[in-house]
Structure 1
Amino acid sequence: MYKPNKKMGKLIIENRSEIFRPSARTERTPASVTRDILKVIDTPGMISFAGGLPDDSLFPIEDLKNIFETSVSKKGSKLFQYSDTQGHSDLRAWIADRYYPGSSADEILLTSGSQQALDLLSRYFIEEDSPILLERPSYLGAIQVFSSYAPTFIGINYGEEGPDMEELKYVLTNSSEKPKFFYCIPDFQNPSSYSYSLEIRNSISKLLLENGVPILEDTAYRELYFKEELPISLCELGPEHTISIGTFSKTLAPGLRVGWIRAPKKILKDLIIQKQSMDLHSPTLNQELVYGFVSSSKYEEHLSLIRKTYQRKSEHTFNCFQNNFGDSLPLQISKGGLFYWLEFPQEINTDLLFQKCLEKGLAAVPGSSFFVGKPERNHLRWNFSNASEEETKLGVKRLFEVYKSIQK
């Protein structure tokens, strides 16, 4: 294992793998497909529709710059000092007031993005082999986090109005062990962009309460509606058995890494302790920047601009698919969110399609990444928010050319 180096007076390690031994949790955490894809998007000529990237031209840079200067002049070194683990009290109060009527700042924990929120909740709930429920398909970032804690995944098939209620009832009735939670994205779901109907929201909230199963509601896309506001959130329907996760990544800027958890106080105190062990607190300055912007009149103007821009991009993307694919690719125009969920004929393997697309300078995410258990391999997730209209036109054209080539 060790070999003396007489000249240098040191030991040479012949097999470093015996020194650096990763934990089982490290080894079972899968790589993020979208993170891997993003590594190749700087390749000359590559057009990417892979990541859930907002349009960075919409980031309110000048407003944030002004807030920074004003805040530093008023608060000085406090913005650069350690701060409370639970987070900026005024921002927590603002979140509670806007999204959770009847809740208070004491029920909000600020996190370093919603991804950290998922990890904190995994720490709290999941034991090895314990069953958890989630939609099928589901957000691959959540699947990645949950996987590191080695649960037993139970996928519930997802349709245009929400999960299959009969399947959910069957699972809850016949499970030998009560699921730890049901993770869901009721609003413009990632990847499908579908939203729960009001009927489904009421049914799910009631059913899971009756069975004593908590709901983990991910609200990342709730503000990104184009015309009609969404029905009441699951957390509003059942605050006593629903934990809500939110983020400013999609509405403000993902680089700020500010998200939150809304949970009953008895749970939140344990989550705060878990967060202390992770990073002490989320960046003080970033929380101040977010609060300064969202508490101003400019936030509503900003949201209106985002919705109009994404609606225009969504409609342009839809028209590009119609012009190229026609009836060969069934697609409904999006009502919000950031994605189109493309469903190809069963004989089209989108893992292969994805590889061929990369060769042609095009990146999107193959649908198999979004499934637990046996994957479906005829879907592709397509982000419409980041690319320009010209890039979208060219990207859809390239996709159609690759699609036709593998049909032959």
Structure 2
Amino acid sequence: MEEKKQQTFFEKVSKLKIGFIPLPIYLILVVVYLLLTVNKIMPNDMMGAIGVMTLFSFILEEVGKHIPILNSLGGKVLVVTFLPSFLVYKSWLPESSIETVTAFMKNNNFLSFFIALLIVGSICSMNRKTLLKASSRIILILIICDVVGALVGTGVGMLLGLSAFEAFFFVVAPIMAGGVGEGALPLSIGYAGLIATQQADIFASILPCVMLGSLVAVIFAGLLKKLGEKHPELTGNGQLIDGDDEHLDNLKGGKVDVDIEKMLVTGVLAITLYLLGVWVNHVIHLPAPIVLLVAVMGAKMLGWIPKDIENGGHSLYSLTVKGITPPLLFGVGVAMTPWGSLVKVFTHVPMLITIFATVLSIVLTAYFVGKALGMYPVDTAIAVSCCSGQGGTGALAILAAGDRMELMPFAQVSVRLGGAMMVTTAIFLMSLFV
């Protein structure tokens, strides 16, 4: 009888989960982590990094889900991404954990691996007609949003005492430039070639705007998700326009047969296309993610994706979102989100309001223009708002906050195309004024 009670108790405990991890396994991971940390033998390799990221990310996600009000604003994403940044800033995370995660994130290009799997998995499982209709419309909306965001952001900055030059070139343009590596960095290099200021100083001054713009977009994504829940007619739950939504049930975790071999084949396709992108980048300097995106979208539109790979895309997408997203967000917070940069903007009220107004104008423009074009406004606004995010890391956080990870292909269009347009425009305009 006593043995039966113990078995029942163990079964009850086993049903408790941290994320998708059964509680007993999670507790073992905690104990092992503490032993390695206390004895200063945490392995500085992939296994050590994934262990640390898994341990912290899923418990932080649980915390974010249960914080009142914040949980409606993408709370789990905010906690998983930005709390680690704060902990690193305060030196409250063990140094061995910081070093292990930072080395893994910066030396292994794990974010690009994640985005490649997500894009290929999502597009392969997407309805072809829907993709054809949505792509041209999203580009038009993106162009309109860039114009409106620039005008509104610059105008608000001027009303708050900033010069038009400072408001546009050092606040608005960095927000919409496509992130750090593809946005803030080339902007700072271009600016430095035109004005008598060191590139490092320019980069340091515009980086906080990029960071905070991404944070504001994450919050808006959470609000848009809430709006979609209250008004279902405004959202396609991951689709931009009406179409065959069978794939959405699969992507959202509905019933679908998992074929490991098909999933692995789709994963190999993602890696192959990314490596092709690396070669193309070497030849014509086109970023590898863009090559990947164009190649798989083109193949899907032309009907060249075999049915087996489409089915494998369903499983690959689910695996990527459920198993990789939270640990990756934690890694982004530790290695790629300097808390000090965010704090700088919070103390500059005119700049803070200008950033908020810029992102808000982009979200509202995408919402209403998307609705006028027959698209679901909630999903359209979330996808296009990624143009004001921190590049690939920002798109990841924004889509996770809005629970719209299947929109990653369109988010990449917003980030890459929107960023390239803004960097080119900003540098060209500065050359006319200096």
TM-score w.r.t. length of structure 1: 0.22
Higher relative contact order (CA 8 A, sep 6+): 2
Give the strand-richer structure, 1 or 2.
1
